[in-house]
Structures are given as structure tokens and as C-alpha cells.
Chains A and B, each alone.
Chain A
Amino acid sequence: MQMSIKAVLSRAWPILSPAFLFLIPLASPTPQHLQWATMGALWGLWVLSLNIVWGYAGQLSLAQIALGAVGAYGFIILQTQLGVPAGLAMLAGIGLAVLASLILSIAALRLSGFYFTILTVTFALVIITIITNSETAGRTTGLLASRAQLPTVDVLGFQWSLGSPLGGFYAFVVATFVVLNGLAVLLARSTAGAAMFAVRDDPKLAVSVGINTLHIKSLAFVLSGFVAGVAGILHGLSYQLVVPELFVLDQILLAVLLIVLAGRGNLLAPTIGGVVYVLIYEAAPIDGEYRQGLLGLIVVLIVILVPGGIAGGTTQVFKRVTARRRRQSAGAVTPNSASSVESRRVDHGA
């Protein structure tokens, strides 16, 4: 009985984990802490986008941030220049990001590994160059993205204004992160998710068991483009300004560092990545220019010392401790015992 509760918890934990971000402002609801939680959820979304395409399907795409830019600029141009209502413009922006990722995936996914990464990073550079040279997109000064235009939704009689300066927008971002992260966890546990892991771990074997690797990779890429579109729009709204600086190469490299630090492919990576972002970029009592250096330093050390990142590292330590305890109490454990099969199943994402 006790085991099954544990099993349920271990399965539910990746879905529930982002809700942790709700706790920071609950403990102390200052504007600053609301801001921390918002940024944590936002970077959690960027990491989630990268986790689906790189963590699940094994394709390191550096185009995510540019797909986010497509979403954000699409949204704000439709809303402020063409008069489309904010909610609808948001959906259209996400749609544009998905469309862009679909087009890019047709071209890029025929390539493998290194070539794929280079094509995506070139795509990202070109998108940013187009934006900074376009009058419509506000060149380098960007476009205002007022949160006041966001709709108010009725949740069980409670009027939730998505753009309200304090709680409303924060709750909007965190709730979006919770929902998308939950869906991504379910994806990882579905047949499609299993196929993605197979493509990542052994493409030849995946083909031999009848998986269409191109379709599976496209699916991962398009879903990650969807998340990127959402993240891009929310990123612009969080600063109330859509500017090229939000979507430059540094930003996507930051997401790469966060996901490596958190544990690529792990279902907890988006939450851990968001929390790490808050700790280093918001909470750490150091000067701004040291922050990315600190993150870089930690990642370099992690790559050498703990290749699995925070999530992988703790699982490893946990396993070693439980294995030792089991050995002490019941002698040697046979490799094909039921518990080790179960732990492998849970580990499946790591």
C-alpha cells in the first residue's frame, strides 16, 4: 500500500512541481516576489520548449527563441496595428509560431545533429535581423505591449483580469506554465513521447521498430514551437515591450545553460530551470554583469562533474543511497528485480 502511494506521488510530482512557483508569493506577496515567480515561470516555459525538442527528441534547436519572436511580434502587430482583440491576437501569434516551426521543420529535420543545430541558429539570426530592419516591427526600439489590453476571464464567478498589474498577470503566466508543463509530462508518458525518446536514444533502432523518425521529430519540433510562441508572447507582455533584445542569441543560449543545469530530458527540468533562473538572475545578491558568468561557471563544472544536471545528479545520489540501504538490509539486489525495473521506468526521462 505504502509503495503505491509512493508510486502515485512519483508519477504526479513532475506535473505538480511547477505549482511550487505559486508558493513564493504566497509566503510573501510583495511585488518583487510576484515578479520573481513570473520570471521563473517564463523561463520555465523557455526550458520546456527546449526540453521537448532537445530533451525528448534529441534535436538541439537554437531556433526556439526566434519562434518566440515570431509569436510575440505576430501578436503585438495584429493587436495594436490591425485592431484584433488581444485574446484572438494571442492565439494567432501562437499559430504563426507553430506555422514557422512547421516550415522550418520540413527543411531542417532532414538534416541531422550538427547540421540541424547550425541551420536553426542561422534561422534565428535571420529572423532577428529582419525584425531589427522592419519599420512595422519597430526596428530596434520595439513595440509597446500593454497588459491593460488583456481580457478578463470569468473563473467560477471570479473575475480574473489577466493583465492586472499585480496578481493577475503573474497568475496567468504561472497557470500557463503549470498547464503546458503538465501536458508535456503527459506527452512524455504517451506512445508519441516514447517514440521521441527512442528517436533520441537510438534512431536506427527506432526506424527498425517502425517509427517514422521524421514525423516524430517534426511533432516534437512543432509542439516545442507552440510552447515557444506562448513563451515569446508572455515574455513581451512581462516587460510590456516587444524588443529584439528579448530574442537575441544570448537568450536562447541562456535557455540551453538552464536546461543543462537542470537536467536535459528530465521531466522536472522546466521547473528546476525556472527556479535556477530566479535564484541566479533575480535573487542572488550580486551585480548584474556577474550573473551570466556565474551561470556559465556552474554549467561548465556541471558538464565535467555531474553530466545529468541537477535532476539527474539527485536521482543518482538517491539511487546510490537506496541501493546501499537495500544491500545492508537484504543482501545483494538482483539486477532484474521488480524495483529496479520500476526505477528505470521513472528514470526514463533522465
Chain B
Amino acid sequence: MLLQTLTSGLFLAAVYSLAAFGLAIVYGVLDILNFAHGALLVMGAYLAFTFLERGMPLGLAAPLAVVSIGAVGVILQRLLFRRVERVPIAGLVMSIGLIAIANSVILTAYGPDQYRLPRLLEGSVTIAGTQLPQDRILVIAVAVIALGVTELGISRAGWGKLLRATAEDDEAASLQGVPVARVKTIAFAGGAALAAVAGVLIGTTAPFDAHLGESLLIKAFVIIIIGGVGSTKGALVGAMILGLAEAFSITYLSTAIAQLLPLLVLAVVLFARPQGLFGRVTERT
């Protein structure tokens, strides 16, 4: 029971952290509260479905969907978000407009039915006498790898330094010769691609429809507040907290409490440590 709960908690944490990580990058670097992040996530899953339908194997369809959503991110940033950089609320409003457009596109192309992608792995492994679904464990592994590489890159690699400099102060970065516009485009594309990874992985474990993005988006918001807005490390820890808390309260308390959890955790964090676990006080404006 404990091991099962732990696995499903880690699975939730993996999915949540993938969704929240991209949101945190986009907010940190571009200062945009991107409501359309959930829509990008769902479209990733739908695209993978379409590629599969065209006869591609999952191993090709999934990466292709991720890359396509990344490309959509490039287009959105260069065509739309870059134009309203100076108006803080405009990016948020625009992203709400994009949700409406995405919903229309999904309804037109796929209808209201639920879809699902094939499981990554069938069957289960037995650890210490407990049966654990293999595909969920694989999802956790994929998330750990994807986020580990991204986080390492951000903290160690050269491009990560440019990203952090832009997030810190884009004007100063620009004066130091950082190609700020390009860095921002890459950050947006990366955030979108991570959302698509989350979407595809969720699609392989459960049926999805256009509403999948909504509740995940709000949980991702809660997570980046828990962790400290704009902090990618915080997003990971926040996702762990929320995912494990959710799984454990479903098993040991009740589903009702599990559903109240985002609000409860949010309230506790906001009053005990408003800047979030990894946030700095100055970030709160």
C-alpha cells in the first residue's frame, strides 16, 4: 500500500513538475503568466495521436509532437508575445485569447471525444511484494531525465547562463551582449516543448480531452507559487510536495481532501512564506 501510494505520488509529481517547469521558465525569463501553457500541453498529446494515426511508431510520433509544439512556441513568441513585452498584463490576456483559439482548433479537428495514446509498457513489476505499473515508473524516469538535463543545462551550461542573465535583468544582459530576443524565444519554445512532453506522457497513461489542460494549469500555478515564482528548482520541489500530498491523502484520508489540497497548500505557503520556498523577497511585486 505504502509503496503503491509512493509510486502514484511520484508519478503525479513527475507529471506536475513537467507542467510547472515550463511555466516557471516562461515566467522567469519573459515575465509572462502564460495561461495557454495548459493548451500547449493538451495539443502535444493530440498531435502525438495524429502522428500515430498516420502510421508512425510512438517512438517517432512522441518526439515529433514535442518538437512541433516547441516550434509553435517559437511562432507565438516571435509573432505575438514579443509585441506586447512592455505591457505586463497584455501577455496574460493574449494567452487567454490563445486558449480560446486552441479550444476551437481542438473541437474542430478532434471533436469532444476522449482520446488516449498507447501505453509505453504493459504489465507491472513486483517490488517487495507490491505490484507497480511499469508504464508509470517509466513516466517518472522520463520526467527525471528530461528535467534533470534541463535543470543541469540552466545551472551549468553556457546557454543556461544567458537564460539566467536574461531572467535577472534583460536590459543589463542586453548591454553585456546577450542576444536577449533570441534567448527569450528559446525559453518560450523550451517551456512549450516541456509542456508537450507532459501532455504526451499523460496521454499514454489515461484518456484525455480538451479539458486536461485546465486543472493541470492551475496545479502548475500553485506549484510555482509553492516553489517561488520563476525558480525552476522550486517548481520541482513544489511538484513533489503537491504530488505526494495528493497521492497520500487519496489513500489515507479522502478524495475530497485531496481535491481541496491545492487551495490548502497554497494558503499555507502564501501565509507562512509568501515568497515561496526558493523565491526571493524582491521577486514579490
By a beta-carbon cutoff of 8 Å, the part of chain A in contact with chain B is: 60, 107, 111-115, 117-119, 121-123, 125-126, 129-130, 133, 248-250, 253-254, 256-257, 260, 289-297, 299-300, 303-304, 307
Which residues of the other chain, A, contact B103 by a CB distance below 8 angstroms? 250, 292-293, 296
CA gap between A291 and B104 in the complex, in Å: 7
Chain B contact residues: helix, strand, loop or mixed: helix
Q: Contacts A295-B100, A300-B94; is A122 near B262 (CB within 8 Å)?
A: yes
Q: Is B146 an interface residue (CB 8 A)?
A: no
- Interface assignment of B253: CB less than 8 Å from any CB of chain A: no
Q: Among the listed A115, A292, A303, which residue makes an inter-chain contact with B274, where contact means beta carbons less than 8 Å apart?
A: A115
Residues of B with C-beta under 8 A to A112: 284-285
Q: Mark B82-118, 1 if CB is under 8 A from A, else 0.
A: 0110010110111011111101110110000000000
* Known interface pairs A126-B263, A289-B107, A296-B104; A256-B93 also in contact (CB < 8 Å): yes
* Contact residues in A for B97 (Cβ distance below 8 Å): 257, 260, 295-297, 299-300, 303
**What CA separation (Å) do A59 and B266 show in the bound complex?**
19
Evaluate contact between A114 and B33: CB separation under 8 angstroms.
yes
Closest to B88 in A: A113
Q: Collect the chain B residues with CB atoms within 8 Å of residue A248's CB.
A: 214
B111 to chain A, nearest CB (A): 9
A339, B93: Cα distance in complex, Å? 34
Q: List 20 A-B contacts (CB under 8 A).
A: A113-B285, A114-B229, A115-B284, A118-B221, A125-B263, A133-B255, A253-B99, A254-B100, A256-B96, A260-B93, A289-B107, A289-B108, A293-B103, A293-B104, A294-B104, A295-B97, A297-B97, A299-B94, A303-B84, A304-B84
Which residues does chain A contribute within 8 Å of B259, judged by CB atoms? Answer: 126, 129-130, 133
B256: Cβ under 8 A from any A Cβ: yes
Q: Which residues of A contact B90 (CB under 8 A)?
A: 303, 307
8 Å CB contact of B256 from A115, A133, A250, A291: A133
A289 to B222, CA, bound (A): 30
Q: Which residues of the other chain, A, contact B256 by a CB distance below 8 angstroms? A: 130, 133
Closest to B27 in A: A114
A294 to B274 Cα, complex, angstroms: 38
A335 to chain B, nearest CB (A): 24
Task: Give complex CA distance A347, B206 in Å.
Answer: 52
Question: With a CB–CB cut-off of 8 A, which chain A residues contact B35?
Answer: 253
A290: chain B residues within 8 A (beta carbon) = 104, 108
Q: Please name the residue on chain B nearest to A108 by beta carbon.
A: B270
Return chain A residues, CB-CB under 8 Å to B262.
Answer: 122, 125-126
- The minimal Cβ–Cβ distance linking B106 to chain A, given in whole angstroms, is 9
- C-alpha gap A248/B103 in the complex (Å): 14
B93 touches A121 (CB 8 A): no
Does B215 sit within 8 A of A, measured CB to CB?
Answer: yes
Q: Could you tell me the distance between the alpha carbons of A289 and B103 in the complex, rounded to whole angstroms? A: 8
Q: Please tell me if the beta carbons of B266 and A122 are within 8 angstroms of each other in the complex.
A: yes
In the complex, the answer to whether A253 meets B100 with C-beta atoms within 8 Å is: yes
Indicate whether B157 reaches chain A with its CB closer than 8 angstroms. Answer: no
Contact residues of B between 69 and 83, Cβ < 8 Å to A:
80, 83
Other contacts beyond A133-B255, A292-B101, A304-B83: 16, CB < 8 A: A60-B89, A111-B274, A114-B33, A118-B222, A119-B270, A129-B259, A248-B214, A257-B100, A260-B93, A293-B100, A296-B96, A296-B101, A300-B80, A300-B101, A304-B94, A307-B90
Which residues from A are CB-within-8-Å of B84? 303-304
**Residues on A with beta carbons closer than 8 Å to the beta carbon of B120:** none
Q: Is the CB of B93 within 8 A of A303?
A: yes
Docked pose: A296 CA to B97 CA in angstroms: 4
- Residue B218 at the chain A interface, CB threshold 8 Å: yes
In the assembled complex, the Cα of A138 lies from the Cα of B222 at a distance in Å of 28
Interface centre among A60, A249, A300, by most chain B C-beta atoms within 10 angstroms, is A300
B267 on the interface (CB 8 Å rule)? yes
- Could you tell me the distance between the alpha carbons of A123 and B218 in the complex, rounded to whole angstroms? 10
Interface residues in B232-285 by Cβ distance below 8 A to A read 255-256, 259-260, 262-263, 266-267, 270, 274, 284-285
